[in-house]
């Protein structure tokens, strides 16, 4: 009889850090060949939202199979959103050309 591997549990937060509890997810994605897009770490916007970006689409099925996540961590179609700590893990999508109002 084959048993399914035990899922790794992700904590909702580590004391003193808004992002350390997400390191297993980042490590999993890197181990499966996805590379960071830009700095290897979270960047924070002026409103304090943290974002970690990868070059390729996230392996959402692999994440769901590997990890048990708390209710505050949302695994969406193509991103991981942490609603408690205001951070996310996403695929980097380059911006298109700037909008113009020339006719």
What is the overall mean pLDDT for the chain? 91
Four-CA torsion 68, 71, 72, 75, nearest 10 degrees: 60
Burial of 67 (0-12, 13-18, 19+ CB in 10 A): middle
pLDDT-derived band at 3 (thresholds 50, 70, 90) equals: low
- Largest Cα–Cα distance in the chain? 68
pLDDT-derived band at 5 (thresholds 50, 70, 90) equals: confident
- Which pLDDT tens digit goes with each residue over 8-44? 999 999 899 999 999 999 999 999 999 999 889 999 9
Tell me the domain boundaries of the chain.
8-91
Query: pTM for the complete prediction?
Result: 0.84
Give the per-residue pLDDT at 27: 97
pLDDT at 2 over 70: no
């Amino acid at each position: 009889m084959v048993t399914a591997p035990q899922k790794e549990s992700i904590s909702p937060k580590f004391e003193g850090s808004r992002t350390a509890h997400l390191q297993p997810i980042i490590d999993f994605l890197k181990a499966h060949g996805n590379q960071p897009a830009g700095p290897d770490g979270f960047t924070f916007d002026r409103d304090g939202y943290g974002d970690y970006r990868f070059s390729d689409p996230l392996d959402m099925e692999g994440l769901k199979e590997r990890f048990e996540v708390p209710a505050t961590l949302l695994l969406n179609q193509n991103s991981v959103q942490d609603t408690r700590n205001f951070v996310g893990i996403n695929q980097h999508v380059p911006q298109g050309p700037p909008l113009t109002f020339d006719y």
